[in-house]
Structures are given as C-alpha cells and as structure tokens.
Structure 1
Amino acid sequence: MPAQAGPERSAEDGGDVVKHDGAHVLADALADYVQVVAEAVGVSIEGTSFEVTDTATAYLALGNRAEAHPDRDLMLVWSAPSGWVVSVETRPGEEPVVLSRPAGDLVPAPEVVAELVAEAVAGGVGVGRPLALVREADWAGLARRMRRRAGSR
C-alpha cells in the first residue's frame, strides 16, 4: 500500500483535532494521481509509493528496461519541484542517470507520462527544462490539478 503523510495535530488543540491543511489535501490527490499514472504505465499499485511532508514525492518501480541500460532497472519519480522523471535505478553514492523528463506541465495527463516512459525505454532522450518549484502555499492548486488528471476518483 502506498505510504502517505499522517495527520498533524496542533499543540493548541491538545492533539484532539486533526488539521486538514494543504499537505493532507495534496496527499489525497497525489494518491489518486499516482494510481492513474501507474495504470497508464503498467505498474501495479504495489510498485508505487508516495509521501507528502515538507515536499511531495512519488515513486513507481518500472517493470521494463531501457535499451541503453539493459542490465539496470528503471524508475519513474515525481516531485513537486521537478515533475515526472524517468531514471535508471542507481546504487547509493552513484550519480543519477536521468533518461527523460517532460517540459512544461508539472502534472501531465497519465497518457503523456506513459509516452515519456515508452520513449525512455526505446532509447529516446527527452530532457525538458526544469519546472518551477511549488511552494506549500500552492499545494491546494496542485491538488486540484491532480484530481482533474485522476478523473476525480
């Protein structure tokens, strides 16, 4: 089951009232978005994880390999500052090997992500420009976009 951030409790309320802040809204939306992206790229939900803390990230273990790296597993990672990135799984201390990242939308449609993965597996390199950092204050808007992409599951 995917990991997600637990509810925060404030000191003022003695921990009895759960705060429903942007991080929790984003965690719910990210869970749905990751599920539809996983379906689009052919990854079971067991091969996914996500977390929303001071940043937001998601990980999908891809079941295919790139022509350029036939002996290495691939991963699809999403983060609030970078969007989706297809990379080679690396060992600790090893430099990241980015195969592809889209330019533009931080929350592309699942079909666009699936195309990105297919291009990376086939040997295409599509490294777009880095995306703008999403601050926590913008997480509600990011969550709305994820919900639209996920079809409001």
Structure 2
Amino acid sequence: MDDRPGSVPTVSRGLAGYVRAVADAVGVPAEATSFEISDTATAYLGLTRRWSARPGNDLMLVWSERHGWAVAVETDPGQDALVVAYLAGEGVVPEPAAVARFVTDVVTGRRSGSPRPVFPTTAGRHELAERLARYA
C-alpha cells in the first residue's frame, strides 16, 4: 500500500474519516454517505431534512476537493442536482461543526450561502492529504 502524502490510500483514509465526522455533526447515518476518489475527490451525504422551496425533493450535502461543501436538491435521475448554496469562507475542508451550522442555516432560511463555488481548486492531492490527515 502506498502511504506517501497525497497518495490515493492516504487521501482515502483521511476523506473517509472526514466524511464520518461531518455525517456525525449533521446527524446523517453512515449508510447515507459515500465518497469517491478518481480524478476528483467527492463525497455525498443524504440529508433527512427538507427545504421549504422544494418540499417534495430530497436534499443532499455534497463535497468536492474543487468546490468544498454544497447543499443541493436531488432531482430526477439523469438530471444534475440543483445546488441551493455553497459553503463560503471556511476553506475546502472546514470543521464538521461549521458544515452542520451551514446545513441548518440553509435549510431554515437563515443563511443562503454562496450561489457559486467560492474556491477553485488550487491545492494538489498532497495538500488535500495534509488537510485530511487528522481525520485518518
């Protein structure tokens, strides 16, 4: 196994722990989470909460190493999710408690977040591995 910083196994262990920590903070069970590392590292958490603007649709919390966290509305299969808001000002790997506050604020309408991603990727896998290391 390759345990060099930035290697896929190193990033994978850190991302797995980070997703678990965020899921715990948001109140999402482990079976409603997933993550993938390919050309881009991504994560998904199925939320149990509803958004008043689309009460008939499920909500999800999605993450990518390029754009950080976003709350999105699940749409019909084959269609892209409708992003409600991106978490701004917290970096690409924010504290789980900050993500939980963001979700609550967006769902309750207290905060709208950013309508666009706020951090284009500048970090490489090595830097991402360093940010995720404490969750491994």
* Residues in 2 aligned to 1:61 and 1:134: alpha-carbon distance in whole angstroms: 27
SS at match of 2:100: helix
**1:26 CA displacement:** 0.6
Could you tell me which residue of structure 2 aligns to residue 63 of structure 1? 48
Structure 1 residues 1-153: aligned runs within 5 Å:
18-20=1-3, 22-104=7-89, 105-123=91-109, 124-127=111-114, 129-134=117-122, 138-148=124-134, 150=135
Q: Is this contact kept in 2: 1:100–1:116, CA < 8 A?
A: no
Q: Is this contact kept in 1: 2:42–2:64, CA < 8 A?
A: yes
* Residues in 1 aligned to 2:52 and 2:38: alpha-carbon distance in whole angstroms: 35
Q: Is this contact kept in 1: 2:44–2:60, CA < 8 A?
A: yes
Larger Rg: 1
Q: Deviations over 1:91-123 (max 9, x none)?
A: 134353211211230011001100111012113
Choose 22-31 or 117-126, whichever is displaced more. 117-126
Structure 2: state its 5+ residue gaps.
none
Structure 1: state its 5+ residue gaps.
1-17
SS at match of 1:126: coil
Q: Which has the higher contact order (CA 8 A, sep 6+)?
A: 2
Q: TM-score, normalised by structure 2?
A: 0.86
Counterpart of 1:81, as a letter, is R
SS at match of 1:51: strand
**1:142 CA displacement:** 1.2
Q: TM-score, normalised by structure 1?
A: 0.77
Q: How many correspondences in the alignment?
A: 131
Aligned-pair identity (%): 44
Choose 91-100 or 28-37, whichever is displaced more. 91-100
